[in-house]
Chain A
Amino acid sequence: MKKKLGVQFRKSRKTTHAFERLKYCKHCESYTVLEHEECDVCGRKNSFLSLRQLSHILSRRHFQKQLLILGLLICLAILSADTLWQLAAASVGGVVSLLLYALLQKKYSIYEKTNHFMRLISKEHDKIKSGLTRNLVEVNEDVEAERFKDAYEKIREVGCLFHSDAVKVCKIMLLNRFVLRKDMELELETLIPSTYDRDFIEYLGEVLKVQPWLLKKSVIDYVIRYKGNIFLEENGTRVIGQVAGAALRMKSYVVMYQDFISESLEYIPRERLLRLAKLLKANPDENWGSLREAASSLIETRYSFDPDFKGVL
């Protein structure tokens, strides 16, 4: 059994959108998601822009280009005036068109900016992908050099944009190297692989001990889907019991996953079974199906002499 490391992760930046994590180097036009002060391609310091800033710069350039064309046309109109009337028409027309242009810009620029942003993403996604792949190479180097904490912190950033199984498997592999604690910034739902993964089950068992609130519907669905495989694992029944026990935290999960909880009752820890019994007693009108009978039967068999269970069900 490999020795686990006690680590303190650097706090991950909270962003509303994933694209806010991307940084663009003004000098070499490369992208990265890692928190380096200097660009890992050209080595320049303080040369980064956010994607939003880049999009605004490009939108502003587009606006200035159009304004320049309009200005040139107005100048041409004025210069080509033969008579005073034409000169007056060109001048007034020019001023009015500039005012109209400014008004349109003020009213609709926000929609145009978002549209430009979308086009920028479409145009640059290959470069962004190359940047993220380069970041993954760095993660690889950290793993090979056994700098597991650094590797995890980096792949955590990359994983906000790349959601592939390979990235998830790598994250799980790294997380299984650490001693997990309640105060750590851990993840679970974002790590669910598309197929059965033994390391994910190992991680699931460990993370639910310290942060049971991370259990969500998608995780329970995964466990139910691969229940057969999980039972074959060394700690399979313990993990099933932990998942079923953690699901009891929310009444909606108990209602939704009655069958699963009913089948997993014998593996649920005592405290969680007590919680279930109290929940079933507090909600007699709910349609619990066979769950109530199964819980009663188990309590009768195992905990008939336990004072905490007296009169609960």
Chain B
Amino acid sequence: MLTYYILAVILLVLAARYVVLLLHKRKNLSEAEVDQHLLTLLNDERESYEKKAGRPVQEKPENHTRL
């Protein structure tokens, strides 16, 4: 009897996998969207980080007039 229960669990696992894969297909993400997501994550937070840490580049005073 336990065999049939385990087979039922296997069937449920497969059904869950199918649903998950269908959801992925529905989202239909492209590499361009992944790229845009990365750029958004890096740049939206970067601006607030720079405000705290200041400009990233420091030059010798005699070589540069303004930063």
Chain A residues with CB under 8 A of B45:
129
Is the CB–CB distance between B21 and A77 below 8 Å? no
Contact between B3 and A86, CB atoms less than 8 A apart: yes
Chain A residue with Cβ nearest B25: A111
- What is the minimal beta-carbon distance from B35 to any residue of chain A, in angstroms? 4
With A18-B39, A104-B18, A115-B24 in contact, is A166–B13 under 8 Å at CB? no
Contact assessment for B56 and A125 in the assembled complex, using a CB-CB cutoff below 8 Å: no
Q: Which residues of B contact A144 (CB under 8 A)?
A: 58-60
A77 touches B37 (CB 8 A): no
Provide the residues of chain A in CB contact with B31, threshold 8 Å.
Answer: 16-17, 114, 117
B50 contacts across to A, CB distance below 8 A: 164, 166
CB distance from A142 to the nearest CB of B (A): 10
- In the assembled complex, A224 has its CB within 8 A of some CB on chain B: no
**Known A19-B34, A121-B37, A143-B59; contact A162-B3, beta-carbon cutoff 8 A:** no
User: Which one, A2, A140, A146, A164, contacts B43 given CB within 8 A?
Assistant: A164
Q: Shortest Cβ distance from B10 into chain A, in angstroms?
A: 5
B3, closest chain A residue (CB): A86
Contacts of B7 in A (CB 8 A): 77, 89-90, 93
Q: Does A201 contact B (CB under 8 A)?
A: no
Which residues of the other chain, B, contact A66 by a CB distance below 8 angstroms? 17
**Is B52 part of the contact surface with A, judged by Cβ < 8 Å?**
no
Name the A residues within 8 Å of B59 (CB-CB).
143-144, 173
The total of chain B residues at the interface (CB under 8 A) is 48
Determine if A301 is an interface residue (Cβ-Cβ < 8 Å). Answer: no
Known: A100-B14, A122-B37, A128-B42. A140 touches B67 (CB 8 A): no
B9 near A73 with CB under 8 A, answer: yes
Pair B66/A111 contact, Cβ less than 8 Å: no
B34: A residues at CB distance < 8 A? 17, 19, 114, 117-118, 121
Binding site for A on B (CB under 8 A): 1-4, 6-7, 9-11, 13-14, 17-18, 20-22, 24-25, 27-35, 37-39, 41-43, 45-47, 49-50, 55-60, 63-64, 66-67
Would you list 30 pairs from A and B whose C-beta atoms are within 8 A, ordered by A residue?
Answer: A18-B38, A73-B6, A89-B4, A90-B3, A90-B7, A93-B7, A97-B14, A100-B14, A101-B17, A104-B14, A104-B18, A107-B21, A108-B24, A108-B25, A111-B25, A115-B24, A115-B27, A118-B37, A125-B42, A137-B56, A139-B57, A140-B56, A140-B58, A146-B63, A161-B38, A162-B42, A162-B46, A166-B56, A166-B57, A173-B59
**Interface on A for B, CB 8 Å cutoff?**
2, 16-19, 66, 69-70, 73-74, 76-78, 80-82, 86-87, 89-90, 93-94, 97, 100-101, 104, 107-108, 111-112, 114-115, 117-118, 121-122, 125, 128-129, 132-133, 136-137, 139-140, 143-144, 146, 161-164, 166-167, 169-170, 173, 198-199
Given contacts A114-B29, A166-B56, 17 further A-B contacts (CB under 8 A): A18-B35, A70-B13, A76-B6, A77-B7, A86-B4, A87-B3, A93-B10, A97-B11, A104-B21, A111-B21, A111-B27, A118-B29, A118-B33, A121-B38, A133-B56, A161-B39, A170-B57
